[in-house]
Each structure stands twice: as C-alpha cells, then as structure tokens.
Structure 1
C-alpha cells in the first residue's frame, strides 16, 4: 500500500507555525501513544529549533501500557521528559501544566525581579491531524474553546485561547509532511485515523492491520472477532472470516469487505480490540508489511 497525502493547507500550516513561533514561549509536541515514531512529524524539530519543547503522548488510554513504559524510558534516555495523557478524560493534564510552569520558572522569576508585569506563558500546540490537539486545549482550558472533530483537518486556522492568567494556548491545524519515506509510517497514520479514509483502500488497510495484530496481539482479535485459528492466515482471509462472524454478507453469500473493514478500523481506533501499540522503541518504525 502506497500512501501519499499533502493537501494545500499543509503548506499553509507550516507557514503559520514558522511565522508565529517568535511569539511563543513553549512548544507542546503532541504524539499518538499508539504510534510514537510514526506520529512524529520530522519537520517539526526544524521549525521549532531551540524553543523549549514538551513531548506529550495522547490517547494513552488506547495504547499498550507496558510498551508505553518502554517509550517513557527511551525518551528519558534521550533527555526528554514525557507526559502520557488522555485528552478526553483529562489524565495527565495537571502534570502538563506543571511542566509548562517549570520550564518557564527562570523567565518568570527574572521578570518579577525586574518589576515587569507578568504575562501568560504562551504555548503552541503542534502535531499531526486528528491527534487530539483541540481536545487537549479544551481540557486544559476547562471549557470548549477550540473546534474539535473525529476526522483529520478540523482545525483550519490558528487560535489563541486564554486558559487563565498563567497560560495562553495557541491551537494550530494538524500538519503532515510531503512524503512518507517509510511506507509503514503512512500505514500507521492511516490505521489510527490521521489520514482520511476517503483517499485510502480501507479493505487493504484493515487486512494489513489484522495480519499485523495476528502476530502481535493474537488473542485480542481472536476474542473480538471469534476467530478460531490464525495460523498461516493472510490479512484478507482474516478480514473475510471476521466479516462472516459479524454477518457482513451481501447477495450471493459474499462477504461485504468494505463494511467489515470499516468495522475493524473503527473498533481499533476506539480501543474495542484492546489497548494496542503498533511500535516499540528500538525499531525506527516497526514493520507492518514485509518488503
């Protein structure tokens, strides 16, 4: 599966980030805890440069907790303090606010000694589409301030949101990069919903996902789709069998692969198959598809 997607508004988003960075004190880079490597836009570091940055992994409630701990240790070894959050329930939000204050404490104290009027910590939230930036801002602010949605590309323009007298947040549109050098990156982004389903072969995508999960989380898919045996079965076979079990049958007794593919992807994204992480540290990007 070859996935390339770079709509025009992505170039505009890069300009927005670069132009407004001088007004920002701290950058929060939001990643998907299920795909920490694939959800990291390699262009962000080049745009942000030396600005103080906090790495935040969202959707931690959907990720495999054991592997999340591995990622936490890996980031610590690289000199990053990481925060795992659930932007819907609010888990980890207090820790994130504390981290913002801690990063800026020297500037705040310097301004106080000089008698300057305190101004809020200006924080830019950056990340790929559909990673939960607007939901995070709403949770930090304690009110519905940013536009949210369950599809990529909802936030189109920058937004400044006043949290309180201490913190001011800038929401930005999600940004992808022009070309996925590793095909697995594109697949991981598509599986988690960062790329619109409308431009993807969802049957192939769901087949790839099931084949991968049959090796990494076999009991999860056996239980969820009542599959009796996974041995030596390819993704399409697993998808077809799951479709039969779910009653996704069309005229002639054939399986409606499009329907069962949509079900599998939706249930993965909603955590109904279980808490699953597709990448481990140590793998630049874990292979979903054999070359």
Structure 2
C-alpha cells in the first residue's frame, strides 16, 4: 500500500513561524507518515531540519520540489543539480517534482514539446542517481493539441519524466480520474489526494439577481466560482475506487492536499481528511 502523507504547502505559514522540524512533529501527531516539501525556500537549515525530523519522528520525505530554471522555491536543476541530488540522498528522498510547466509552454503543441524536451535530460540524469523526476498536473494538462493531451506530449517527448497526479485537477479538467489513471498506468508515482466540492449558491447573489442589483454576467461569475477544494471525503470524488486504481497505476505515495481551506485552520482540515481516509482503510 502506498505511504500516506501530506503536501506541506498546506502548512507553509507554520513552517515559516515555527520551523520545519516542529511542523514535522505535528505531521507525525496527525498519524501521517510522509511529507512533500513545496513552496518553501530550500535553505541548508531547512534541509537539516528535514534530516533531523526524519530521524527523530520517522517521517519520510516523499518528495521535494524542483524546477529547471532558477526562480522558484525548489531546487533549480540548471544551477543546483548536484545540490538537489545531495539533499535527496541525505533526506532519503526518491522523488523530485515539478509543480507546473511555464505558462508559455501551455500555449501550443510546439511550445509544450520544447519544454518537455528541455526537461528530459535532467529527468534522465536524475534517474541515473536513483531519483525520479515527476510532473504535477493541473486542469490545463487536459488541453488537446491535434487530439493529443499535454499529458500525452509529456510522455512522448520526455519518457524519463513521470507523473505526480492531482486527481482534483484531473476531475476539473474534464477527464474522469479513473480513466486518467488507467490511461497512464505505470507513470503515476505520486498522488495528490484532494477532494472537489461545489459550494452552495450564496443567497445574497440570488437575492441581488432577483432585485436587479446584479446583472446576469456578474451573477454567472459567482455561479462559476462555486467549485472548491475540499477536505478528503467532503466532496464528490470516489475515493474507495480511486485509491486502489491509483495504487495499480504505480502510486508510491498518497499525499493529502487542499489548496484553500476557506478560513479554516489547515490542521483541522488535515485531521478531517486523515479521519476519512482511516475510515475507508488507509
């Protein structure tokens, strides 16, 4: 069974205030066994905290973030390849992950192919070091160019680059997540376990439309914004079917993630997600 963990993006404010070591202790108290490091600066101090936290609390470092060019919070492989490998070795991390391709790479088939081609040499070099580079999707990865999804282009042009599948974004992109997992079986190594709900239509918006205080265009903007990120088990995703399918597709880690908690304490949201997953056998 894949290891269950947390995408630490949810606790980045706590990391900034309390430090990575203390946050790893809190993660372990939530009955989670692994973390993915994202949206924090990979300083030497933070890497030391990851090493200490793994040793003291038994929390695996499932993955750390990377990019090709400098500019993000992860390791920039163009300039920090050796440092990324060293940090992965020290922390026992077998996966690096690219959180998103550049926006200009999403605009055409040729642009996507060029980006994937630029990534492939780094993914192949990392594989030689026992590290798998994965690409994290959003809904845009269901864009089709000449009948070929961005997912397909990446697999064709960069075969050494595998996937971190965000099932919420697959759903939002219009492909059934079960179909996606079956289509790319063997390439899906990391899974973001993130639910998808539709919020109630605000009474205020309905009242304003009826009173002609809001025009239809403005109302429709509210209507389209009802899609939300949700605690696992609090949305419409079929987790009892999805998680076994993800395991069959090659998943080694299931990582709880919720991009927005809508004013709630992230710890409470994580705890609810963990309780639900426990209730279905994870």
* TM-score clears 0.5: no
Larger-gyration structure (1/2)? 1
Taking CA–CA contacts closer than 8 Å with sequence separation of 6 or more, which of the two structures ends up with the larger relative contact order? Answer: 1
TM-score (norm 1): 0.31
**The structure with more strand, counted as a fraction of residues:** 2
